[in-house]
Structure 1
Amino acid sequence: MSSAASLQKLLDETHVEPAVFELRPDYRALLIAVDGLVPGPSDEASNTLLEKAEAAAQAALRERKVEHLPHVAAWREAYQSFGAKPNRTRNSLEALVRRADAGLPRVNRLTDLYNAVSVLHQIPLGGEDLDRYSGPPRLLRATGQEPFDTVASGTPLVEYPETGEVVWCDDEGVTCRRWNWRQGRRTQLHEGTTTALFILDALGPITTEALLTAGEDLTSHLLLLGPDVVAAQHLVGAGTGLG
């Protein structure tokens, strides 16, 4: 099992390329790593949190369309800045909010938890299995040569991002395409995940304080998923002096 210090060391090596900040100088990311998680199916606690998130999304959508929610709109603009079409490739927050009326998915208590926090705080939030991760997280503009392990029509395959696309990577390849659109198969969370990395993405109008509050909420729930859970976090982006 990893210590909080070893998790912190990995997170402190996170790097965001200057070219990403050139696209969006207001970009910030909060990375949270945890170990000691006890896997489990969806339960009463995760269902209650998802119901709370569904109600919050439904209330927000009574006042405006999904694409006009402030943070969703900001991410749609960010996607357009590197050539992605936001009507075809929706950021993870928008994709979840659009499912709220029909009901958010119930997957397992870990996935349920981070999906609920994403919707409640209106922040894109991705999760990776750290045991399957290789090296520190990096956010960059793709060359088009980075492999992305995914599935299409039930068949595993390797794709490559478009040149200039914003992607999260580790030492083996892309872990999430188009900033926060689609996560890869190699590092995805699964039923047996015990150590995980979560990435919370923020643009204006989300404040750094609101981003950190979302991280505190996520961490408080993660610490309940086992008697020996340890956690570390790292903030990168505008005004942090980090990158």
Structure 2
Amino acid sequence: MPSTQALQETLDAAQVEPAVFELRPDYRALLIAVDGLVPGASDEASNALLEQAEEGARTALSEQKAEHLPHIAAWREAYQAFGAKPNRTRNSLEALVRRADAGLPRVNRLTDLYNAISVMHQIPLGGEDLARYSGAPRLVRATGQEPFDTIASGEPVVEYPDAGEVLWCDDDGVTCRRWNWRQGRRTQLRDETTSALFILDALAPMSTESLLAAGADLTKHLSTLGSEVVSVQRLISHRPAPHSTAR
């Protein structure tokens, strides 16, 4: 059975640098590290969860525009604070919500699951292949020298962020640009992923209770993806919260 020790060590070493909290003191990150996942194609269970998320998004969008939904609006303000244009670079939650009416993508059951939870709980939620990390995750203000492995015009390229941009990185470079806009190619989830890191990003008006509820829902569904799934989580905030728990 997979051990939680390595997962715990990764989360213990994760950091959000003070400059990020200076930008948004209300920011909280819930990190969930998981091992023992059994890869699989999209199935009836993941499709049903996506359909539930799509219906919820359609209901929300029937009442107000995507950019006016409270948590999306908060993230648009955060993007503007570090110089990004939210109409051009939409946070991951807004991008998914805007696709919901036409149908969310069906990728594989792991990706389907976390996309559905993101939309259902109205929270940006990133998924990374933990086996491809080099060191621990860190959320920082960019110097502009951090390499970002991505695809442009169908070809692999290395780009560099703008100075001051908020990004997630590890020892080898950027894992996600503009806080929760675009994930890097190196650490993206794959069909064969068995160990993953999920990052749930919250700003006011989302409460910490709602953030933890989203994490609990994610963990509950992840536990169905294998008989030996184990997970550890850690909440990072400007005011330190209870450190971590294993499940």
What's the TM-score, normalizing by structure 1? 0.98
Q: Which residue of 1 aligns with 2:4?
A: 4
Q: 1:197, 1:102 → 2: CA distance?
A: 28
User: Aligned pairs, how many?
Assistant: 243
Secondary structure, counterpart of 2:33 in structure 1? strand
Which residue is equivalent to 2:14?
Answer: 14
Match of 2:147 in 1: 147
In structure 2, distance between residues paired with 1:126 and 1:55: 21
- Which sections of structure 2, spanning at least 5 residues, go unmatched? none
1:96-148 CA-to-partner distances (Å, cap 9, x unmatched) read: 00001000000000000000000000000000001101111100000000000
Query: 1:47-89 CA deviation, whole Å, 9 max, x = no partner?
Result: 0000000000000011100000000000000000000000000
SS of corresponding position for 1:62: helix
Instruction: Indicate the larger mover: 158-167 or 231-240.
Output: 231-240
Q: Which amino acid aligns with 1:220?
A: K
- Shift in alpha-carbon separation, 1:80–1:73, aligned structure 2, 3 A: same
Q: State the shift of 1:6 in Å.
A: 1.9
Runs of 4+ in 1 over 6 A off after TM superposition: none
Gaps of 5+ in 1: none
Query: Which residue pairs with 1:104 in the alignment?
Result: 104
1:180 is matched with 180
Amino acid paired to 2:120: L
Match of 2:99, SS?
coil
Offset of residue 238 of structure 1: 3.2
Deviation at 1:5, TM superposition (A): 2.3
Letter in 2 for 1:143: T
For 2:212, what is the secondary structure of its paired residue? helix
Tell me the distance in 2 between the aligned counterparts of 1:145 and 1:55: 42
Aligned to 1:223: 223
Q: Would the alpha carbon gap of residues 221 and 242 (structure 1) be closer, same or farther in structure 2, given more than 3 Å must change?
A: closer
CA contact (8 A) 2:149 2:157 kept: yes
RMSD of aligned Cα (Å): 1.2
For 2:23, the equivalent position in structure 1 comes to: 23
Quote the residue 1:204 is aligned against.
204
Within a 5 Å distance, the mapping from 1:133-172 to structure 2 comes to 133-172=133-172
Opposite residue 240 of structure 1, the aligned amino acid is P
Q: 1:86 and 1:144 mapped to 2: Cα distance?
A: 20
Shift of 1:239: 2.8
Residue 200 of structure 1 aligns to which amino acid in structure 2? Answer: L
The offset of 1:242, in angstroms, is 8.2
Amino acid at match of 2:100: A
1:37 equivalenced with 2:37 (yes/no): yes
Within 5 A, what are the aligned runs for 1:28-107?
28-107=28-107
Q: Provide TM-score, normalisation by structure 2.
A: 0.96
1:207 alignment partner AA: S
Matched AA of 1:193 = T
